[in-house]
A and B are shown apart, each in its own frame.
Chain A
Amino acid sequence: MKIIDSTLRPQFTSTFDVERIRAEFPILKLRIDDKPLVYLDNAASSQMPQPVIDRLVRYQTSQHANINRGVHYLSETATAEYEESRRKLQRFINAREDREVIFTSGTTDSINLVMHGYGRKFIGSGDEIILTTLEHHSNIVPWQMLAEEKGATIRVVPINDAGELLVDEYESLFTDRTKFVGVLHVSNALGTINPVKQMIAFAHARGVPVLVDGAQAAPHMNVDVQDLDCDFYAFSGHKMCGPTGIGILYGKAELLERMQPFKGGGDMILSVTFERTTYNSIPHKFEAGTPPIAPAVGLGAAVDYLSGIGMDAIAAYELQLLNYATEQMRDLPDVRIIGTAAAKTAVLSFEVKGVHPHDIGTLLNHEGVAVRTGHHCVQPVMLRLKVPATTRASFAFYNTMSEVDAFIAGIRTVQKIFT
């Protein structure tokens, strides 16, 4: 058995103080079955640092009321905080204007908004939608529903064995009926970082708008929607240290203005009579009813927190985690990493010969290690790579090298139990 030599771990510059960061996450102090929690399920949902928790408490204890129409102090305060949070998100993704940032309940909701608001209006019978094999079910199913309703067709960009998109094939899928492209920025199952900027430029040269599913990118790298020039960008708060129930849809103003509303109700209208309703301007046109105000404020605090550390510093540290974990895993016999793209975020999907992922997940849990097992909502990827299911460890900037060691030791324990 190989003894892990801690001197082999990469050394870090003192600027990334992971221990100081960890101290701000109360949940990381938990013990599971009397072992320290090693939380490696960040791609499913991340944990929340104390400043974000505090912000939620402050909002709830001194600032909450319904927004927009109230003339009293609390309503004005809540409205101001909600809109301030929108501007924080605008800066976080470098959107041109704050009205291009719509609060939704999450990535799934954001994609459904585009499907209903844009797709149902501008995509018709015989039209074609390009998606990729790597898409999460949330960027497949809404488009299938639309295709079925309209008689449109979905065309799928293939991947290679490493889990990388075949960009040449993508380009050859375009026809004069291509009306829309949906592509995920980073694969939740494999960690592949897709060349979205190049793919967007190609689509735009043919007048086709592009939606980017950024659920796994926004938490892990600098995202600049103007630089990408994407038409839509969707992501979720709960994967980036924020609360559940809140997400973002970025859309270019000129597109959002041409779109039809998704949900009807209060706040999204200017005037209502039974004869005629006039819709509000963007972003309010897409925020019907009382929005998740506290989660929106919490997400504002989360992006402040992430920006305080720096997205580039986060990406650099997580890459070191990935490289170290990948190296350690390659040394394990009978373990195969699924997803070996050249450009990856810190996600490791793998198979252990002779051991079912469910058994791995349960046994790792007993070592305090939280991973995810199954198809990760990407059944087409599993089918293409011929694996029924995988075990996935997904890292965040608050994970450490010694947690990688604990994870690797856990897999060795699993293998020992199954020999």
Chain B
Amino acid sequence: MNSKSLYQEVILDHNKKPRNYGTLDKASHHAVGHNPLCGDHLDIALNLEGELIDRIAFHGESCAICKASASMMTTVVKGKTREDAETLIKEFRDMATGALNLDAEHHLGRLTVFAGVRDLPTRVKCAILPWHTLHAALNSVTTTSTEAEDDPMHAAIGDA
């Protein structure tokens, strides 16, 4: 998959008309994700009813890949349990870093439109940031960063 096919209709559409974009009046969990190397940031708020994510919203400043990833993520995890969301987070990260066998069983569904980022090392972080931030929110860490120690993509982006 090449970089052009990454910018597919569905990704461009979610970038232009992001779903669940905005803030929540009442949120039980909240986190802000940063990519300090490009200045992008993402704010994710969600409300848990028992173990269920019953509402979720995001906003922020980011590239199309990040925004579309966040938008599609919110549509997919809404109504799912915390545990299911964590499974998706892990699978998405594995897909983006090339560690997931897409032919084996997984739960990503149409999120596989992002599989192409694994061939674009500098863009992997863009796709992962929303998922990283969701993970932080679910675990009630209020700020996170793509440069966090536990980030598999922890590495400096050079710039000259």
Q: A375-B159, A389-B38, A418-B12 are known contacts. Are A358 and B3 too (CB-CB below 8 A)?
A: no
B2 is an interface residue with CB less than 8 A from chain A? yes
Most B CB within 10 A of own CB, among A372, A374, A376, A377: A374
Of A10-18, A301-309, A359-367, the stretch lying at the interface with chain B is A359-367
Tell whether, in the assembled complex, residue B160 and residue A376 are in contact, meaning their CB atoms are under 8 Å apart: yes
Return chain A residues, CB-CB under 8 Å to B16. 418
Tell whether, in the assembled complex, residue B159 and residue A366 are in contact, meaning their CB atoms are under 8 Å apart: no
Chain A residue total in the interface (Cβ 8 A): 25
Q: A375-B159, A388-B39 are known contacts. Are A356 and B62 too (CB-CB below 8 A)?
A: yes
> CA A372 – CA B61 in complex, angstroms?
20
Tell whether, in the assembled complex, residue A359 and residue B160 are in contact, meaning their CB atoms are under 8 Å apart: no
> CA A373 – CA B40 in complex, angstroms?
13
A-B contact count (CB 8 A): 63
Tell whether, in the assembled complex, residue A44 and residue B160 are in contact, meaning their CB atoms are under 8 Å apart: yes
B6 is an interface residue with CB less than 8 A from chain A? yes
Instruction: Report the minimum CB–CB distance from B14 to chain A (whole Å).
Output: 13
Bin the interface of chain B by size: 20 to 34
Instruction: Report the minimum CB–CB distance from A350 to chain B (whole Å).
Output: 16
B-contact 0/1 string along A363-401, CB 8 Å cutoff: 101100000111111000010000011000000000000
A45 is an interface residue with CB less than 8 A from chain B? yes
A71 is an interface residue with CB less than 8 A from chain B? no
B73 is an interface residue with CB less than 8 A from chain A? no
Instruction: Report the minimum CB–CB distance from B153 to chain A (whole Å).
Output: 14
Checking B2, B122, B159 against A33 with a beta-carbon cut-off of 8 angstroms, the contacting residue is B2
Tell whether, in the assembled complex, residue B120 and residue A374 are in contact, meaning their CB atoms are under 8 Å apart: no
Tell whether, in the assembled complex, residue A363 and residue B39 are in contact, meaning their CB atoms are under 8 Å apart: no
B21 is an interface residue with CB less than 8 A from chain A? no
A188 is an interface residue with CB less than 8 A from chain B? yes
Q: Select from chain B the residue with minimum beta-carbon distance to A45.
A: B160
Checking A43, A359, A372, A382 against B64 with a beta-carbon cut-off of 8 angstroms, the contacting residue is A359
Return chain A residues, CB-CB under 8 Å to B157. 374
Instruction: Report the minimum CB–CB distance from B1 to chain A (whole Å).
Output: 12
Q: Select from chain B the residue with minimum beta-carbon distance to A362.
A: B3
Q: A43-B160, A44-B160 are known contacts. Are A365 and B7 too (CB-CB below 8 A)?
A: no
A417 is an interface residue with CB less than 8 A from chain B? yes
> CA A375 – CA B157 in complex, angstroms?
11
B4 is an interface residue with CB less than 8 A from chain A? yes
Checking B3, B38, B62, B126 against A366 with a beta-carbon cut-off of 8 angstroms, the contacting residue is B3
> CA A45 – CA B157 in complex, angstroms?
16
Tell whether, in the assembled complex, residue B38 and residue A359 are in contact, meaning their CB atoms are under 8 Å apart: no
Tell whether, in the assembled complex, residue A366 and residue B65 are in contact, meaning their CB atoms are under 8 Å apart: no
Tell whether, in the assembled complex, residue A358 and residue B65 are in contact, meaning their CB atoms are under 8 Å apart: yes
Checking A43, A362, A418 against B6 with a beta-carbon cut-off of 8 angstroms, the contacting residue is A362
Q: Select from chain A the residue with minimum beta-carbon distance to B41.
A: A388
Return chain B residues, CB-CB under 8 Å to A355. 64
Return chain A residues, CB-CB under 8 Å to B102. none
Checking A44, A362, A377, A388 against B123 with a beta-carbon cut-off of 8 angstroms, the contacting residue is A362
> CA A329 – CA B64 in complex, angstroms?
23
Return chain B residues, CB-CB under 8 Å to A374. 37-38, 157, 159
Tell whether, in the assembled complex, residue B2 and residue A366 are in contact, meaning their CB atoms are under 8 Å apart: yes
Most A CB within 10 A of own CB, among B16, B37, B62, B159: B159
B63 is an interface residue with CB less than 8 A from chain A? yes
> CA A60 – CA B111 in complex, angstroms?
51
Tell whether, in the assembled complex, residue A388 and residue B61 are in contact, meaning their CB atoms are under 8 Å apart: yes
> CA A404 – CA B12 in complex, angstroms?
27
Instruction: Report the minimum CB–CB distance from A316 to chain B (whole Å).
Output: 26
A-contact 0/1 string along B60-78, CB 8 Å cutoff: 0111110000000000000
In chain B, residues 35-92, which have Cβ atoms closer than 8 Å to a Cβ of chain A? 37-40, 61-65
> CA A357 – CA B35 in complex, angstroms?
14
Query: Beyond the given A356-B63, A374-B157, A388-B39, could you list 6 further A-B residue pairs with CB under 8 A, ordered by the A residue number?
Result: A358-B65, A362-B3, A372-B159, A375-B38, A376-B159, A418-B15
Q: List 9 A-B contacts (CB under 8 A).
A: A43-B160, A355-B64, A358-B63, A358-B122, A359-B63, A359-B64, A359-B65, A388-B38, A389-B38
Interface residues of A (CB under 8 A from B): 33, 43-45, 188, 355-359, 362-363, 365-366, 372-377, 382, 388-389, 417-418
Interface residues of B (CB under 8 A from A): 2-4, 6-7, 12, 15-16, 37-40, 61-65, 120, 122-123, 126, 157, 159-160
